[in-house]
Structure 1
Amino acid sequence: MPLPLYSLAVAVFAMGTSEFMLAGLLPDIAADLGVPIATAGLLTPAFAVGMAVGAPLMAAVARRWPRRSALLVFLGLFLAAHVAGAVTGGFAVLLAGRVIAALACAGFLAVALTTAAALVPADRKGRALAVLLAGTTVATVAGVPGGALLGTLLDWRATFWLVALLCLPSALGVARGVPAGAGRSAEDAAGTDLRGELARLRSPRLVQVLLLGALVNAATFGAFTFLAPVVTDVAGLEPLWVPVALVLFGLGSFAGVTVAGRLSDRRPGVVVAAGGPLLLGGWAVLGLLAPSPSALLILAFTQGALSFAVGSTLIARVLYEAAGAPTMAGSYATAALNAGAVIGPVAAAAALNTGAAALGPVWSAGVLVAVALVLALLFRGAVAGAPVRRPTRARGRSGWR
């Protein structure tokens, strides 16, 4: 894989740390800024909604910019939003900063995905995507727990400063590692108008893989968001075990996206057909065996691996099916990924109020994966990347063959 991909992955690591780090910081933020914890909780969905909505919006704004310039602008805006969050004394400024950071993150990831796909041969988009998503999985393993520890030892503002500092080597890596003409954004934009790229969303196969990617990632983010109550309330472990379970999930995620990256280009149907049922079965087994601490910790790893293997493969299919939208394809993939980050926690939160209680999010994840698998059977041509059969007129005959 080209070295510039790893520079992009470092930036994705910083952004992934920012996206997930608030889970352990909300009580301190609420106390420091004098707002109820429920109000402080708005910071998390604000970021996710900004990501889902901002991806196509920011990609459209930057579609005629050179891609290296676009990446640096979005990275600089992301850094500035975190500096503002670290020094503010008002919740409104912090909330606005999270929205701005989300828009910058969405724009960066959308351009980064398109750039990554352009830096590798046409049949290696899945492996390029795996390198970028590895930055997110490493964030769940090291960045989020490290940020939480720093917030505990110092305060929540220190974590914001940490993310801002991580942007500096990332910006240097992008400036020095990404070629000035990487991906030929200006030429791509000149060759296709925005309306034509948006028209790709009328492609049934693109819509199908967008839907499947959103569903599987919704299951992942929903269960991950509410893993802590399963650890403490169901398995009866001490709160100290919560970061252990999260790290195991993150390690599994890294393993899953790494292995799937080597298969998703040539065998995407195999990854989904084999990994999908195992993922569904894993959520069911976790729902039944969660009271056993050892089973819970093992399943945290395996479900992280399967979730990201299947989810990243479907997101890679988005890049393939959106190949006719050279400046917007990355934004479609980003939107699908973050639509799942919005839908999943909402569904999981609703499931908490059912008879399943703390295990509700686990069962809701299973339901989302089950729906995705049923649809995958109907959409198997898009999932497997099978060529579309088009009718051709036989020479010298009026019929179709």
Structure 2
Amino acid sequence: MEENMKGFATRAIHAGKTRSHEYQSLGMPIYQTSTFYFDGCEQGGKLFAGEEAGFIYTRLGNPTTNFLEEKIAALEGAEAAAAAASGMGAISACLWTIAAAGKHIVADKTLYGCTFALLNHGLTRYGVEVTFVDTSNLDEVKAALKENTCCVYLETPANPTLKIVDIEAIAKLVHGYNKEIKVVCDNTFATPYNQRPLELGADVVVHSATKYLNGHGDVIAGFVVGDADFIMNVKMFGIKDMTGSVLGPQESFLILRGLKTLQIRMERHCYNAAKLAEFLKSCDKVEAVYYPGLEEHPGHEIAKKQMKEFGGMISMIVKGGKAAGMKFCNSLQLATVAVSLGDAETLVEHPASMTHSTYTADELKVAGIDEGLVRISVGLEDIDDIIADFKYGFEQI
């Protein structure tokens, strides 16, 4: 059947081989168990030795979660995927699998705040050297590469500035220097509906599935996606041993349900964001608008090349700086002040004091994160209602 699954929406609904045939359930059941029984000690021994396929203990594998992993791999065009209990669980497991004491990582200056903290303060405590660069500048990346570099880490579009990085160009440069270096791309903002980094030359994709992949604001989860050997290492070392960050079957079921509507949700998110960005661009109380779909956005031409649509995230700087931006957010009546993104509801937040508070004032400047920046996760509401709410917010400042 796999050869018939050419369309993205078809794969989101039908992909995955680990199905339950016992009772012919159409939906994947929730295997809510910590452990699985054996027919006897002999079978248990064979399972632990890898001589027989099957399930042992949910930290090592669970049918509901395995089915979800197969589906995510299919959507990203990958051999395999590993589910984790959060986006940071996935990123941590990925980086701990790649890095070791004495190794070197090149990472973008503009990242999600907790990812930046992990790289800037966490891994460095264990002898891993990290160099932060602007990965949209190939000369900076080239200059940072070393003999002991093991990973180049980036986000595109980046959180929260929506900076665009040319994945294909980065992969070509890095693998030309050393094909063993892993190019890791956080694809959370774009989703595989809009962008598939592995097809552009990246080695590994990470996701916070808390966001668009689940899409309903009721799950914390993450994924690492790549080739089968690497993902097995992530599962056995990064997740099983190093972090223990295992996704539960209940959460896996909820994401499976959310994926069935991923394409139609992303179509609406992208449509609404494009309309809202055009409105914000025309608003005299907005100093700057950051959205990859705007022709004047830095990297717009690259985004056109590597993305299907431009996503559902916007950032803007409100005239009047931090105080005006916060007053605007506090005045909204439809949109909600909250971190996270990719939910049905429109969410706004102030990165410098919230999601990116792990950055110092100087680090915020280097990353291009203005103190007055407001990040917008455009929801699924009627666009006229969203725009009316934003008009009201601007009237209050």
Confirm or deny a common fold (TM above 0.5): no
| Larger RCO (alpha carbons 8 Å, 6+ apart) | 1
TM-score normalised by structure 2 residue count: 0.29
Q: Would you tell me which structure has more strand in proportion to its own residues?
A: 2
The answer to which structure has the higher helix fraction is 1
TM-score when normalising by structure 1: 0.29
